[in-house]
Structures are given as C-alpha cells and as structure tokens.
C-alpha cells in the first residue's frame, strides 16, 4: 500500500514516533534550557535597565541637589559680600566720626591755647603799661610815689576799662 507521497502507514507511524521522540528530547534538553537561559538573560537585561533608570534618577536628583547647593552658596556669597560692604561703610562712617571728633578737639585745644596766649600777652602789656605809667607819673611829679598803690590803682582802672570795652 503505497499511499500518498510515497509514504506508507507503518513508515508514517514510525516517522511520527521518531518526530515525537525528537520533539520530546529537543523540548527537554534544548527548549527548556534555552528558554531558561533566555529568561535569565531577559531578567538580567531588565535588572540592568532598572538599575540604569535608578542610577539616572539618582543622577538627576543629585544634579538638582547640586544646583540647589550652588544657588545657596551663591546666595550666601552675595549675603557675605553685602555684609562686608555694610561693615566697610560702617567702618568708614566710624572713621569719619572719629576724624570729626579729633578735629573738633584739636580746634578746641587750639582756641584755648590761643586765648591763653592772648590773655598772657594782654597781662604782659598791662604790666608794661602800668610800669610805663608809673615811670611817667614819677617823672611828671618828680618824686617817688608808692609804686604798689599806683600799680593797684592803674590795674583797677585797666580792669574797669577792659570790662567796659567787652560789653
């Protein structure tokens, strides 16, 4: 019984059994290990992708954090610069105040010294004037007068005239 395409039933059944045995062997020894290897590889790739995504997220978070810290440092730097400028201005202002005080003190001391010198010169001039007036009075009268009495009299007159001239 020659059948379809030159196959007979017993040879067809034998070939079918051989095919099923080969299919079973390939499934057991080939397909399952290959499938297991492909699944493991797929899992490793998936884990690597997840790890890469996690690393990327961490990098982005770190980048954001770095930018925040840079902004914070920049703001702190600006704040420090502002504080330094204020401190510089306050130091300059303090130096100006100190210089004004010192200039006023020098001017005050100079005025006081000038007044003392003026008073000293006026006193010396009065003494010379008194001595000259006494000498002139002695010559006019041609006799020796009591110098102490005349001196007091002239000084009193000069003080009265100085008081009148100041008012």
Does any domain span residue 73?
yes
Please report, for residues 23, 63, 84, 91, 98, the alpha-carbon distance to residue 122 in angstroms, rounded to integers and kept in the order given.
142, 87, 56, 46, 36
Please report, for residues 51, 56, 87, the alpha-carbon distance to residue 60 in angstroms, rounded to integers and kept in the order given.
14, 6, 40
Between residues 139 and 53, which one has the greater pLDDT? 53
Does any domain span residue 124?
yes
Q: What does the pLDDT read at residue 149?
A: 73
**89 has a pLDDT exceeding 80:** yes
**143 has a pLDDT exceeding 70:** no
14-32: per-residue pLDDT in tens? 999 999 999 988 888 888 8
pTM of the model: 0.40
Range of the domain at 55: 38-166
Does any domain span residue 8?
no
Between residues 41 and 3, which one has the greater pLDDT? 41
Quick one: pLDDT band at residue 1, thresholds 50, 70, 90? very low
Does any domain span residue 31?
no
Report whether 155 contacts 125 (CB < 8 A). Answer: no
**69 has a pLDDT exceeding 60:** yes
Domain count, the chain: 1
Rounded CA separation 69/25 (Å): 64
Judged by average pLDDT, the poorest of 96-105, 106-115, 134-143 is: 134-143
Does any domain span residue 93?
yes
Does any domain span residue 136?
yes
Q: What does the pLDDT read at residue 153?
A: 73
Does any domain span residue 9?
no
């Amino acid at each position: 019984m020659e059948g379809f395409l030159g196959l007979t039933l017993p040879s067809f059944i034998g070939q079918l059994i051989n095919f099923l045995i080969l299919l079973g062997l390939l499934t057991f020894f080939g397909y399952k290990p290959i499938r297991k290897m492909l699944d493991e590889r797929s899992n490793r790739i998936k884990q690597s992708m997840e790890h890469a995504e996690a690393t990327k997220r961490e990098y982005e978070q770190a980048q954001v954090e770095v930018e925040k810290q840079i902004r914070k440092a920049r703001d702190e730097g600006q704040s420090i610069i502002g504080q330094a400028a204020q401190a510089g201005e306050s130091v300059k202002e303090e130096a100006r105040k100190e210089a004004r005080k010192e200039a006023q003190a020098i001017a005050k001391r100079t005025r006081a010294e000038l007044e003392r010198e003026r008073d000293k010169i006026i006193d010396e001039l009065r003494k010379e004037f008194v001595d000259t007036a006494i000498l002139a009075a002695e010559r006019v009268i041609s006799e020796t007068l009591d110098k102490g009495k005349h001196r007091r009299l002239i000084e009193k007159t000069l003080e009265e005239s100085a008081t009148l001239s100041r008012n």
